[in-house]
Structure 1
Amino acid sequence: MVTRLILASAALTVSASALAAQSLSEGLYIQGFAGYSQLQSSDFSGTVNGSSQSVDTDFDAGFGLGVAIGTEIPQWSNERFGTRVELELSYRDSDVDSVNFSGNGPAGEANVSGDITQTSLFANVLVDFKQTGAFTPYVGLGVGATYSDLDFAYGPGVALDDSDTTFAAQIIAGVAYEIDPNLALTLDTRYARAFDVSSQRLAPNGTSTGTVEDDIDAFSVNVGLRYGF
């Protein structure tokens, strides 16, 4: 009787361990991240005051942060590769550094102020390259939508002050370091693009003088924590 109880207890322990391991590898996780973000130079082009013009814009380094919830897909994974899907909500903010309006010649504009903020919702697919150690490299691709809020001025008070929600995509490359079976530290780079972002160009009195648009590209380096349930 005692022997049977011992064997039954051992079997239950092994079964519980197996189920725990399965839940960690196939269950939900949540990840938070934050870091450095740099918008790439933009050439907002369009018709201003009846002619083709551009508002060339450079940006200061900014910041970004985000949160994602996801899971590994066992049917798309094996002992060498793990495939994850996740939903990501992120935000970035970058101040405008300089502006060159083509209608005023080659010199840069004075009195530049303001920023561009972006809020994005991405559906990501990521592939983990499973290793024997604690480090796991990964790459990913995401598609979704970005809400871009342009709010900057230059010269005597001319402004790009508008918002637009457009299709967006990103690529991701990073590495995770397993702190314990439930927690990992992540470091990644992301390159995101919001396509065809448009904005009105406003005169100092608030009158629209035309509409300009361009893609907005952002490069970021992020540190994060991923917790598995």
Structure 2
Amino acid sequence: MKIHSRIKLALAATIFFPMSAMAADYIPVVQEVPVEVGSGWYLRGDIGYSWGDKADKISYNVNSGGVDFPGDTRAPNFDDTFNLGAGVGYRFTDYFRADATVDGFRSTLSASDPWTAGNVTGSADFTAISLMANGYVDLGTYVGFTPYIGAGLGSTYMNFSDLNATLPDGSMQTIAGDKDWRFTYALMAGVAYDVTKNMKLDLGYKYRHIKGGDMFDGTTSFGESVTGSNGDLSTHEVRVGLRYELW
């Protein structure tokens, strides 16, 4: 009996242990996959210079003694200026990304209008702050350089200082400036260079178009009510900036 029992135990061990080993081989091994926190997000900062800026005519109305005297100025001058911007964005694929930006600049709008008695001239400083949602198509990377095109939609807060006007007789009038939000769109193109894996140097061109709106609304020293609005504003900007990707 003892011999038979030992034989049975040996046979059972021979069969059981290989089967146990095979079963262990089929147990799936769960591997921990590291999760990239913040992958795809980036921060950006830009500085630019605009030139060749254009503004449509300034339309105004002078109400004197209940009678309206409307008029339009000649094409206004729009000073060249520097601008600053910052934003946060997200890269969806190797070819498409989007960001939200805020940027602003200060400048002066001036114009003149020929009257019978002579020219009336006026100027007003203003601050423009744009809030934009932008999308870009990256056109592939070549030895570290990535050309791109883009477009943006948003709104610009225009805040005009008081209008300083000089009448044909040389007297000065000050009219209270106005402020409002205006629809804005932009078109962009440029190239980015990989300074490091996470840092990109961005050199680009931006065309910005700001819808016209109210510019001044006040009363002269003669008791006349004066209102005015400027037409659309357009800027051409060369910009350089840095993008830092949060990998």
TM range (shorter): 0.7 to 0.9
| Equivalent position to 1:154, from 138, 142, 165 | 165
| 2:92 aligned residue | 73
Which shows bigger deviation, 170-179 or 152-161?
Answer: 152-161
Residues 1:186 and 2:198 are matched in the alignment: no
Residues 1:226 and 2:243 are matched in the alignment: yes
Q: Could you tell me how far apart the structure 1 residues matched to 2:100 and 2:113 are?
A: 38
| Equivalent position to 1:130, from 136, 140, 145 | 140
Q: Which amino acid letter does the alignment assign opposite residue 40 of structure 1?
A: K
Identity among equivalent positions (%) equals 28
RMSD between aligned residues = 2.8
Q: Could you tell me how far apart the structure 1 residues matched to 2:47 and 2:116 are?
A: 38
TM-score (norm 2): 0.72
| Equivalent position to 1:214, from 219, 231, 239 | 231
The alpha-carbon distance between structure 1 residues 119 and 207, as it changes in their structure 2 partners (threshold 3 A), is: farther
| 1:6 aligned residue | none
Deviations 1:43-79 (A, max 9, x none): 12243331331234202211111001111113xx5xx
TM-score (norm 1): 0.77
In 2, are the aligned partners of 1:158 and 1:201 still within 8 Å (CA)? no
The alpha-carbon distance between structure 1 residues 89 and 104, as it changes in their structure 2 partners (threshold 3 A), is: farther
Q: Which amino acid letter does the alignment assign opposite residue 137 of structure 1?
A: P
Q: How many residues are aligned here? A: 203
Higher strand share: 1
Q: CA deviation at 1:196?
A: 2.7
Residues 1:30 and 2:40 are matched in the alignment: no
Taking the TM superposition and a 5 Å limit, the aligned residue runs for 1:49-128 are 49=63, 50-55=68-73, 56-74=75-93, 82-96=95-109, 98-103=110-115, 107=119, 109=121, 114-128=124-138
In 1, are the aligned partners of 2:56 and 2:233 still within 8 Å (CA)? yes
Q: Could you tell me how far apart the structure 1 residues matched to 2:228 and 2:213 are?
A: 10
Q: CA deviation at 1:107?
A: 4.3
Q: CA deviation at 1:144?
A: 0.7
| Equivalent position to 1:139, from 127, 132, 149 | 149
Any stretches of 5+ residues in structure 2 without a counterpart?
1-30, 167-171
In 1, are the aligned partners of 2:40 and 2:92 still within 8 Å (CA)? no
Larger CA Rg, structure 1 vs 2: 2
